[in-house]
Structure 1
Amino acid sequence: MAMIPNDTLDACGLLCPLPVLKLRKRLKSLGIGEVIAMQADDPAAIIDVPHFCAESGHDLLSATDTDGVQTYLIRKTL
Structure 2
Amino acid sequence: MSMQVAKTLDLKGLSCPLPIVKTAQAIKELASGQLIEALATDPGSVADFNAWCRSTGNELVEQTEQDGVFRFVIRKK
Normalised by the size of structure 1, how large is the TM-score?
A: 0.96
1:18 deviates by: 0.2
Counting only pairs closer than 5 Å after superposition, residues 1-78 of structure 1 correspond to structure 2 as 1-77=1-77
Of all paired residues, the percent bearing the same amino acid is: 39
Which structure shows the bigger proportion of residues in strand conformation? 2
Amino acid at match of 2:70: Q
* Structure 1 ranges of 4+ moved more than 2 A: none
Query: Counterparts of 1:18 and 1:35 in 2: how far apart (Å)?
Result: 19
Query: Counterparts of 1:52 and 1:69 in 2: how far apart (Å)?
Result: 19
Structure 1 unaligned regions, length at least 5: none
1:60 deviates by: 0.3
Structure 2 unaligned regions, length at least 5: none
Query: Counterparts of 1:52 and 1:66 in 2: how far apart (Å)?
Result: 22
Query: Counterparts of 1:71 and 1:63 in 2: how far apart (Å)?
Result: 6
Count residues with an aligned counterpart.
77
1:2 deviates by: 1.9
Q: Cα RMSD over matched residues?
A: 0.6
